[in-house]
Amino acid sequence: MSNDPTRIANIIVPSVFIPYVIEKTATLSALVQSGIIVPDPALDILAQRGGTVIDMPFFRDLTGDDEILSETTPLDPDKIAATKDRARLHMRGKAWGVSDLAKALSGDDPMAAIGDLVAAFWARKEQALLISMLKGVFADNLANDAGDLISNISIAKGSDATAANLIGADAVIDAATKLGDAAGKLTAIAMHSGVYARLQKLNLIDFVPDSQGVVNIPTYLGKRVIVDDGCPRDAGGTDGYVYTTYLFGGGAIGRGEGSAPVAVETDRDSLQGEDYLIHRRHFILHPRGIQWQELSGGDAIAGISPTNAECEASKRWNRVYEQKNIRIVMLKTNG
C-alpha cells in the first residue's frame, strides 16, 4: 500500500477539468449571469480556427426612401452594404503551486475545490479585462463620435456636487436615452460600490429572487445591478471623485472559448517538494459593434496578445454599428 499523498496530477483530468472550469467560470460571473456577456457558439468556432484577429462580417440596415409605384417609371434598386466587426483573441495563462491550494485540497472533493478556485479566478480576470476594454471603447467614443454614448453630469469640484451631479433616476434615464427609442434594450447597470452605497442609503435598491428563488438579485429601475470596484473611480479635477457607471443591454459582450494547444498541465519540483497546476486559455471577449484595431509599427501591441492596459487605448477601437445598435452606455457622476 502506497503512502504517497494525492497529487494535483492524480486529480486533474484535462478532458474533464477544462469543460468544468469553463462552465463554472460562467456560473460565477455576474456579467454572464446578468446576460451582459453571452457565450456564443459561433465565437467558440471562430476562436478555435487560428489567428489572433477575428473578422465578423455583417450587413448594414437598409436605407433610402420608398418609391411611388408607376406604370411607366421602374423602381430604382438599392444595394445592401456589408462591413465587418472585428474581435481580438486573448491568450492568457496562470500557474499555481500546491501550497496555494493546500487548504482547498483537504476537502472532500479536491477536483471541485480546484475547479471552483480556478473558475473564480478567471471570472474576476474576465471582468477586469472587460472594464479595461470599456475604457478604450469610450475613449474612442469621446474622440471620434462626440461622446454620443456618454452622459457626464459630474463636476470637477466633487465637494460641491448636488443631486444634479449624483446618480438617480433622472441620471440613469437620461443616460439610457442616448440610445433613443432603443433605450429599453438596456437591462443591467454596473457601478462602483460608492455609487451603490448612495442608492442603498436612499432605499432605492429593490431585490428580486433568482429563477430558483434562492438568491436575491439587486435591481434599480428594473435593471440588474452589478457592483464592481473595477468600475472607474477617478479623482475629481479639484476634489472628490468622478465615478463611471455602465448601462448594458443583453448580449452587449460576446464571449467565445478557444482551445490552447496545451490548456492544462501539471508539474512537480521534487527537490522543492511542490506540485504545480498550469492553466492556459484562448478566448474572445468582445463588445459587439466596436471593431478592434490591429495597429502596426510603434502602435503595435508588445506581445502576442494585448494587455489590459493596451486595451484601454482609444486608438484600438472603432465603432462600426449604428449608435442605437450598441448596447453599452456610460454615465459619469460624482457619486
Please tell me the distance from the alpha carbon of residue 185 to that of residue 187, in angstroms, as a whole number: 6
20-79 pLDDT, tens digit per residue, is: 999 999 989 988 989 999 999 999 999 999 899 999 988 888 888 999 999 999 999 998
Please tell me the distance from the alpha carbon of residue 302 to that of residue 220, in angstroms, as a whole number: 41
Please tell me the distance from the alpha carbon of residue 242 to that of residue 235, in angstroms, as a whole number: 6
pLDDT of residue 1: 47
Please tell me the distance from the alpha carbon of residue 314 to that of residue 292, in angstroms, as a whole number: 10
185 near 249, Cβ under 8 Å?
Answer: yes
190 near 248, Cβ under 8 Å?
Answer: yes
Is pLDDT above 60 for 81?
Answer: yes
Please tell me the distance from the alpha carbon of residue 175 to that of residue 182, in angstroms, as a whole number: 12
User: Per-residue confidence at 113, pLDDT binned at 50, 70, 90?
Assistant: confident
Please tell me the distance from the alpha carbon of residue 32 to that of residue 210, in angstroms, as a whole number: 14
119-140 pLDDT, tens digit per residue, is: 999 999 999 999 999 999 999 9
Please tell me the distance from the alpha carbon of residue 170 to that of residue 151, in angstroms, as a whole number: 11
pTM: 0.89
User: Please, what are the domains in the chain?
Assistant: 8-62+83-333 (3.90.1690)
pLDDT of residue 5: 65
Q: Is 333 exposed, middle or buried (0-12, 13-18, 19+ CB in 10 A)?
A: buried
Please tell me the distance from the alpha carbon of residue 205 to that of residue 224, in angstroms, as a whole number: 10
185-233 pLDDT, tens digit per residue, is: 999 999 999 999 999 999 999 999 876 677 789 999 999 999 999 999 9
User: Per-residue confidence at 80, pLDDT binned at 50, 70, 90?
Assistant: confident
User: Per-residue confidence at 108, pLDDT binned at 50, 70, 90?
Assistant: low
* Average pLDDT of the chain, as a whole number: 92
Q: What letter represents residue 166's amino acid?
A: L
From the list 278, 311, 298, the residue with the least C-alpha distance to 89 is 311
Q: Could you tell me if residue 46 is left (phi over 0), alpha (psi between -120 and 50 degrees) or otherwise beta?
A: alpha
Facing residues of 87 across strands?
A: 54
> Mean pLDDT over residues 316-335, rounded?
97
User: Per-residue confidence at 3, pLDDT binned at 50, 70, 90?
Assistant: low
52 near 88, Cβ under 8 Å?
Answer: yes
User: Per-residue confidence at 255, pLDDT binned at 50, 70, 90?
Assistant: very high
pLDDT of residue 11: 86
- All three cell numbers of 66, joined, read 420608398
Please tell me the distance from the alpha carbon of residue 192 to that of residue 223, in angstroms, as a whole number: 15
Q: For CA atoms 126, 208, 288, 195, give the dihedral sign.
A: negative
Please tell me the distance from the alpha carbon of residue 318 to that of residue 34, in angstroms, as a whole number: 26
Phi, psi of 150, rounded to the nearest 5 degrees: -120, 130
80 near 275, Cβ under 8 Å?
Answer: no
